Amino acid sequence: MTDAQRLAQALNPLTKMPQFSYTKARAAARSEPAVNWPATKARNEDFNPEVDGCESFVMADGTLCEWVPGQQRYAAR
- Tell me the average pLDDT of the chain: 95
Q: Nearest CA to 8 among 39, 72, 46?
A: 72
Residue 67's DSSP bridge partners are: 74
pLDDT at 46: 95
Interior CA angle at 28 toward 23 and 29, to 5°? 95
Max CA separation in the chain (angstroms): 32
Find the mean pLDDT for residues 43-53.
94
Instruction: Give the pLDDT of residue 1.
Output: 74
In the chain, % of residues over pLDDT 90:
97
pTM for this predicted structure:
0.93
The domain ranges of the chain are: 2-76
For residue 15, the tally of other CB atoms under 10 A from its CB is 16
Q: What number is the average pLDDT over the span 35-60?
A: 96
